[in-house]
Chain A
Amino acid sequence: MLQAIGVNSIDDLFEEIPANLRVDGLPGVPEGMTEMEVSRLMRSRASQNTNAICFMGAGAYEHHIPAAVWEITTRGEYYSAYTPYQAEASQGTLQLTYEYQSMMTALTAMDVSNASMYDGASSLAEAVLMSVRGNRKSKSRKILLPESVNPSYRRTTKTIVKGQNIELVPVAYDAASGQSSMDAFKAFSGEDITAVVIQQPNFFGTLEDVDAITDWAHENNILVIAVVNPLTLAVLKPPGEWGATGVDIACGDGQPLGAPLASGGPYYGLLCCTQALVRQMPGRIVGRTVDLDDKEGFVLTLQAREQHIRRSKATSNICTNQGLVVTASTIHMSIVGPQGLENTASACHANTNDLIKKLCAIDGVEQRFTGVGFHEAVLKLDADVADVLKALMNKNILGGYDLSSDYPELGNAMLVCATEMRTQDDISAYASALTEVMAAQTTKVAEAV
């Protein structure tokens, strides 16, 4: 090969690189390993992570995933393919993506879905940018972003819209119900506001009065962005039907539909909108068309919105998305089906209600909010929440999410969740562990006094 090129050594191929800048290998990188050695290393690393029973939600949920889902997804034809730019050689990925878009529009009752964003948080940020482009009646670039929206999503949105001169206005939640306060929204009536964000269920697990907020917003020429958990849409009213006319943009994290917890990803961001906003949509979109013989086929469409054509005027810089997780999710939805998703979602609701009931029977534990919840709830403790969670961890229970740093006003509060994966035994185990821990904590406090 060197001869064909006309050089003497591989090193000659690098002759255009300034010699004074070159390095001689990478001594700081460890030596290579065989697959056997790496397997040994990774098994040992994996075993250093906990296998505690998970009662944590807060944006990532442990659900059953049919064995077939990732077995099909990791077939080389899906796993090692690129973005379907050569449509004729990518009909598998393209048709699957079209089916995904169809499933997402069915679940959300929205007109259009794209092929995915990175995750729920970045999807919300893109939804906000979309609303600013889409609401031609508004000049303010002001977005109402309730404090009951996942704090991590709010921070991500702040990061991503920072350079665009957009104001994110917090809206307080009702201290008793845990819902976004309708009065707090109404304080903005008549003002020029571009969009309002509603998360359903909200970060506290509480259900918002989505119809009233949507109608209020539309009366005030404000676009509505819904943040949803797609699994819950098997039983909850879809954002396309909120209020009189439905929301304008729906986003959220697709993780509950087929993605394992996996330390936070890869998940995917779902992003849907009304037909009117389709050209403001970022990311890839697949369309159905025909070939030269009039045979059905699928292509990437509306590409003129995207960075590779529109460059500095694109709707977003997104290029790579989360295609493989969308593949898993599409197969997941097909196998579980609408009845299965209903059974799963309602089981999460029932298990969480059961968990709350059992935990709130313990001295020093009570439910913080009165609003109706779905599959998460805030518990208030008469003990230091960090200590309690640590003590639970020692009993191999991942007890929930400590809310004290995001919501200091709630005091010792934690967010708990019991998906369909939790058995009666798991829930009882949590209850007895918490009983012991609370008793010990109370004793500790009493001794300290």
Chain B
Amino acid sequence: MLIFEHSKAGRQGAPQAPKQASSLKAIPDALLRKKRAALPEVSEMQAVRHYTRLSQKNFSIDTQFYPLGSCTMKYNPRACNSLSMLPGFLGRHPLTPDEQSQGYLACMYELQDMLCEATGMAAFSLAPMAGAQGEFAGLAMIAAYHQANGDHARKEILVPDAAHGTNPATATMCGFTAREIKTLANGDVDLEALKEAIGPETAGLMLTNPSTLGVFERQIETIAKMIHQAGGLLYYDGANLNAILGKIRPGDMGFDVIHSNLHKTFSTPHGGGGPGSGAVGVAERLLPYLPVPMVIKEDDQYRLLTEKDRPESMGRLSAFMGNPGVLVRAYIYMRLLGREGMVRVAEFATLNANYMMAEAKKRGFELAIPDRRASHEFIITLKSEARDLHVTAMDFAKRLLDLGYHAPTTYFPLLVPECLLIEPTESEAREVLDGFMDAMQQIREEAKENPEFVQGAPYTLPVKRLDEVRAARQLDLAWKAAE
């Protein structure tokens, strides 16, 4: 039932607004609304109950194992939430002068600093609102750099075929052409293909390392050398930074610019789709181009730098400075972890993934890249199950929901058929990992005995499989009041 269907004219949460409407007589009639907007009219309790009940129709980290590959669904410590919601943080207007904002700015400055330390970059800007905006900032800086060098022919961004869709989409948005580079069966970039693609048009290469295939790119030094020798720059997509915290840093691998998804590695909540943060870090040569605002420390005072202070900046990406509520949460998480905790994150995330991979192999599942170490995630391919039993990766995913597990990422990366990309994160105990693998095994047994049963899953959720074709053909995107 929709909230609108609970609506009765005249009902409202009366204590939640001024008691009467004030006069609008100063405003010309032509500029005023004629007919009241069809918003729900419900009591506060009706709204609370409706949205509490809706929440119960969600899977979440707090309620289920959520091994969604490339998304890093780790535990979100509650302290990060409650402390970021202290009145001193919530009540601060974004345009409050720096002198009266020293507590907030100190957190932001130290966050920039810790990100630099953790990634080996020279400087960080917290401005990007999400990973994709971080990518945008990164590529726009690469564009600005080539522009400043009078290097106008560099219009191509190289992207491995296993990359997130945001990579090529961002390249287009920045005015570049995305060119795909093949990946080898062992998960490494095809150096021959790369060599062929590199030329005077190369602006840069975007790379996720460990890659979306769940393995570390071993030839990274060679790749960095090839790109740099050709005059291009190297972009690090930080989606999988969780796997290598404190083990190896993108800056040391030769990357010129990186974004870090704070909502992945640094545990800010995913919130049903956002908000995120895609803080960007750069090596020395891209320093002038970082997006504004940034925080600096001068004579023990913190200060925001804007376009005026940084004329070469690639610009501003939002009205204020990114998603501060997310940034404060990431800051708290990093202070809780500290240097010792960060290393443990990478170690236990990697341990959990490799353990699950070993268990998967033991239980007879086919691994997409069998003879490699997993990073913090790995891929099972169900192509033989799909061929022999007609039970696909999607069917497995839906049946997992019945068994109380959120499904892993399905059908990504695109080059592995019938794949499940599994990322357990460091948060989970061994029993949970075993339980998940038991469930996978159970589903395969079910598929052998009764494939239709698995094809019809899920059975225990609020709805069964939904008609996506109908949704796209007969668009119903908003409830409309009856005329």
Contacts and interface: CB of A to CB of B under 8 A. Distances in A.
Note whether A and B contact each other (Cβ less than 8 A): yes
A107 B35 CA distance: 10
A168 interface: no
Contacts of B200: none
B265 interface: no
A199 to B, nearest CB: 12
Interface string A45-62: 111111110101011101
Interface string A318-345: 1111111101001101111111111110
A15 B375 CA distance: 11
A446 interface: no
A320 B261 CA distance: 10
Contact of A265 (B316, B323, B336, B412): B323
B271 A78 contact: yes
Contacts of A262: 89-90, 92, 324-325
B350 A14 contact: yes
A308 to B, nearest CB: 4
Q: Which of A27, A90, A109, A309 has the most B CB atoms < 10 Å from its CB?
A: A90
Contacts of A44: 103
Interface in A32-72: 32-35, 38-39, 41-52, 54, 56, 58-60, 62, 64, 66, 68, 70, 72
Interface string B423-438: 0000000100000000
Interface in A89-112: 89-93, 95-99, 101-107, 109, 111-112
Nearest to A63: B17
Contacts of A314: 165, 169, 172
A45 B477 CA distance: 44
Interface string B53-89: 0111111111100101001010011010101111111
A234 B456 CA distance: 45
11 contacts: A21-B252, A42-B332, A47-B88, A54-B91, A79-B81, A207-B28, A290-B467, A290-B470, A301-B468, A324-B275, A393-B99
B13 A336 contact: yes
A155 B91 contact: no
Interface in A230-263: 233-238, 241, 253, 260-263
Contacts of B176: 163
Interface centre among B129, B354, B458 (most CB of A within 10 A): B129
B417 interface: no
A59 B93 CA distance: 10
Given A290-B466, A321-B273, A119 B93 contact: no
B358 A18 contact: no
B230 interface: no
Interface string B257-285: 00000010000011111111000000000
B415 interface: no
Contact of A79 (B30, B96, B271, B398): B271
A145 to B, nearest CB: 15
Contacts, number: 666
Contacts of A393: 97, 99-100
Contacts of B340: 25, 31-32
Contact of B178 (A1, A152, A312): A312
A95 to B, nearest CB: 6
Interface residues of B, number: 195
B386 interface: no
A306 B164 CA distance: 12
Given A34-B336, A68-B44, 15 more contacts: A29-B114, A48-B103, A89-B407, A89-B458, A106-B39, A155-B315, A235-B24, A235-B32, A236-B31, A253-B319, A299-B471, A309-B165, A319-B166, A324-B275, A372-B26
Interface stretch (A5-13, A135-143, A431-439): A5-13
A337 B11 contact: yes
Interface stretch (B190-198, B240-248, B446-454): B240-248
B56 A287 contact: no
A448 B273 CA distance: 58
A115 interface: yes
Interface residues on A, range: 35 or more
Contacts of B173: 160, 163-164, 316-317
B322 interface: yes
Given A32-B336, A74-B81, A301-B468, A112 B478 contact: yes
A88 B470 contact: no
B422 interface: no
9 shortest interchain CB distances as A-B pairs:
A32-B338, A264-B320, A46-B88, A163-B175, A76-B62, A324-B271, A48-B103, A159-B315, A264-B94
B36 A338 contact: yes
B477 A113 contact: yes
Nearest to A390: B97
A293 B321 CA distance: 47
Contacts of B50: 334
B249 to A, nearest CB: 6
A430 interface: no
A344 B81 contact: no
B213 interface: no
Given A39-B83, A86-B401, A314-B172, A350 B22 contact: yes
Given A23-B246, A29-B338, A235-B24, A337 B40 contact: yes
A118 B133 contact: yes
Nearest to A373: B26
A145 B107 CA distance: 36
Interface string B200-224: 0000000000000001101011000
